[in-house]
Structure 1
Amino acid sequence: MNQLSKFKYDIIGLCKTRAKVESRTKWIQIGDELVIGEGNGQQRVGGVGFIINSRIASHVIEVQIHSHRIATLKLDIGRKTPLLIIQIYAPHKEYGIDEIEKFYSEVETHLSQPAYQKIVIGDFNAQLGPKDTNQRYLGKFTSGTWDKNETGELLVDFADASKLFIINTLFQKPPNK
């Protein structure tokens, strides 16, 4: 955790933690909080959580670990509308389309909470491929070197239905990232 002192951050979303048990820890030396949900049973699959900088810890309304794939953090950001951060770790395509659609349905349930500004962060385990001209919520920097896979299609449909931009596509990244 000494590595964190090299970075400026308010919140770090964690996924694929594979933790055995759910835990909440406060680091005495720096005052930051670590909240981790447990992985999925014996397989220790998934696991999501947050690292919350001590500067904003007093603004936290609530942290909830809903499953080994979804956690939420509610913050009072000093505006009329609080902020809801949804940290996710989506199933791989090997889990099958039914499991992935069930996951997106659960995320949509959290997005439907009224009176919150919303951000969804995490690993969607999706390849977007080149952008189609009719995809409104994608930037121009999708990965044109890979073909879009089925989970990529689901992510694009989810973003469109939820009116969420896929921010990772708005900025150019180095090759192979």
Structure 2
Amino acid sequence: MQEFQNAGLDILAVSETKKKNKGVMELENGHLLIYSGVENNKRAAAGVGCIIHQKLIQSVSKWEAHTERILSVEIKKRDGKQMTVICVYGPDEDEKAEIKDTFWEELTLVTEESKGIVYVLGDFNSRVGKKDGRYNTVIGQYGENK
């Protein structure tokens, strides 16, 4: 939470929360965590969440836990326009193809049904290939140079 505050963030997607079920919890300094995880009868795994700064809590008009890997939060901006933040935790590369395909299909559906400006945040478990200076602001300096 200290980093969240130090960075001056309003919204932060978090992954691998390993929280069960879905819900909302108040965090320190009045910030809010909205989360989606596996069912209570399953072993804790995956999980995704969205931390909302206390100043934006009243602007949250709706949230939905779609799966343990996809969560959407609708926020009404000061100008009255709607925006949707979709927080994701993508499956690992080693996961079965069916699970990866299902994740992308669900994400596509959630994105298409979202209102206003849509932001997709999270951990896609992507692999970074060859370093390429054109994308430094997106992928950073950790390409495998292959």
TM range (shorter): 0.7 to 0.9
2:134 is the alignment partner of 1:140: yes
Flag the structure with higher strand content: 2
Q: Residues 98 and 175 (structure 1 numbering): CA distance in 2 closer, same or farther, change over 3 Å?
A: closer
Distance, in Å, in 2 between the alignment partners of 1:130 and 1:85 is: 30
| Corresponding residue number in structure 2 for 1:19 | 19
String of CA shifts for 1:24-78, please: whole Å, max 9, x gaps: 1123x51111122223653322101111111111111112211110000111113
Q: Write the distance in 2 (CA, Å) between the matches of 1:64 and 1:106.
A: 13
Distance apart, 1:176 and its partner CA: 6.7
Change beyond 3 A, Cα 1:114–1:17:
closer
Asked if residue 38 in structure 1 is aligned to residue 37 in structure 2, the reply is yes
Q: Name the aligned partner's letter for residue 83 of structure 2.
A: L
Alpha-carbon distance between aligned partners in 1 of 2:94 and 2:4, rounded to the nearest angstrom: 33
1:49, 1:65 within 8 Å by CA — same for their partners in 2?
Answer: no
Q: Identity over the aligned pairs, expressed in percent? A: 21
Kindly tell me the number of residue pairs found equivalent between the two proteins: 143
1:74 aligns to what SS in structure 2? strand
What is residue 151 of structure 1 aligned with on the other side? none
CA deviation digits over 1:85-106, x for unaligned, max 9?
1111111122222211111110
1:24 and 1:34 in contact (8 A); partners too: yes
Question: 1 CA distance for matches of 2:92 and 2:2?
Answer: 31
**By how many angstroms is 1:115 displaced?**
4.0
Number of the residue aligned with 2:107: 107
Instruction: State the partner residue of 1:77.
Output: 77
Counterpart residue number, 1:51? 51
Q: Name which one, 1 or 2, has greater alpha-carbon Rg.
A: 1
Q: Name the SS of the counterpart of 2:67 in structure 1.
A: coil
TM-score normalised by structure 2 residue count: 0.81
Contact 1:48-1:65 within 8 A present in 2 as well: no
Is 1:23–1:37's contact at 8 Å kept on the other side of the alignment?
Answer: yes
Greater relative CO, 1 or 2 (CA 8 Å, sep 6+) = 2
Matched residue, 1:173: 140
Q: Secondary structure at the match of 2:94?
A: helix
Tell me the residue number matched to 2:65. 65
- Aligned letter for 1:98? E
- List gaps (5 residues or longer) in structure 2: none
Please, what TM-score do these two structures have when normalized by structure 1? 0.68
Secondary structure of 1:46 counterpart: coil
Aligned residue identity for 2:95? Y
